[in-house]
Amino acid sequence: MKKRLRTSAWAKSFERNFVAMTRLATASGSRVLTNTLETAMAKRTPPPGAGAWTPGIVMSATGARRFRLYRPPGITFGERLPLMVMLHGCRQDANSFAASTRMNRIAMRERFLVLYPEQDRLANAQGCWNWFDTASGRAQKETALIMRAIDQVCLLYPVDRTRLAIAGLSAGASMAAFLVNRHPGRFKAVVMHSGIPPGTAHSTLSALGAMHGHRPTMPLPATPSTMEAHWPPLLVIHGDADAVVSPRNGQAAVQAWARAAGARASDARSVQRGKRYPMLVTDFKRNGSMVATLVAVDGLAHAWSGGAASKPFSDVRGPDASRMAWAFAARQFRSAA
């Protein structure tokens, strides 16, 4: 009986101390705790809209990466749908990028699947894809993991392998271009939003210079004939008020595609839809075929153009980049059919 009383007294003392520490922690760090809980809930809460939001993971000898896959509702037996791969930027993940771009809404309406590979914070503390780290081989290993995720999704879900496109924002755009540089024949379209062309950096230090447009762009490992046969057309979307990644990078990316293909620029045309930011659109063509398109958005900073309001790295006032990306990809799917 005495032992039971002593245990009870210790338990009560522990409970009092625990309550006191909890109150102290709550009083001093409630905002941090709330933000942490909100972030955790956001990662678990699927983006709004009908359809399936499926988690997955891909593994290899070089590591593992999580991903999310969106599937529109009502897929029938035997149906094969296009796949859009979306690579997020720094300080984003699959959920936040899907919510910001609202690409799933377009996929539900136009009937395609969307794959969101996710960078591991152990690989990069800011969640950036290591597109620049070619000297150590990290960039190459990450592209291999992304390709493995694509192959896994193509194997397990109703994907039309002949209709693949890839898009990304910032570091995700740079990784998308680097991935296409290594596997050009796998994709029918590539979209770079506020990114840096491949071959401009090989380390963290050189990446900083590339972000500010101070690094030369290496030529693509392609000729006009191989570009026509294997390389996907490029769409670049970049804000002229981007202070994080210089707009010169967008110009350099389309110029690299155009030089490799022997394409010429058409006259730039000004486009504005409603009250959204105006944009200057320049097409690069060879023998009437689209090689690259540059969309320079007036007044857009480092954010997904036309993205959801109140989301980080998202500007609802810009022209809808998600609609432009899908329309660009769909045109390439039709022309290749």
pLDDT of the chain, 337 residues: tens digit per residue: 444 434 455 445 445 544 444 454 344 444 433 444 344 445 557 787 789 999 999 998 889 999 999 999 999 999 999 999 999 999 999 999 999 999 999 999 999 999 999 999 999 999 999 999 999 999 999 999 999 999 999 999 999 999 999 999 999 999 999 999 999 999 999 999 999 998 898 999 999 999 998 888 889 999 999 999 999 999 999 999 999 999 999 999 999 999 999 999 999 999 999 999 999 999 999 999 999 999 999 999 999 999 999 899 999 999 999 999 999 999 999 987 7
pLDDT at residue 216 in the model: 84
Q: Which amino acid is at 213?
A: G
Q: How far is CA 216 from CA 64, 85, 238, 245, 300, in A?
A: 32, 28, 18, 14, 24
CA distance 270 to 282: 9
Please state the separation of Cα 98 from the chain's center in Å: 9
53: number of Cβ within 10 Å? 18
Query: Angle 92-95-97 (CA atoms, 0-180°, nearest 5)?
Result: 50
Domains in the chain, start-ordered, CATH in brackets?
A: 53-336 (3.40.50.1820)
pLDDT at residue 105 in the model: 97
CA distance 267 to 264: 10
pLDDT at residue 39 in the model: 47
CA distance 198 to 191: 13
Query: For residue 70, what are the β-bridge partners?
Result: 53, 114
pLDDT at residue 16 in the model: 55
* Cβ contact 318:305 at 8 Å: yes
pTM summary value: 0.87
Put residue 78 in one of left, alpha, beta given phi > 0 → left and psi -120 to 50 → alpha.
left
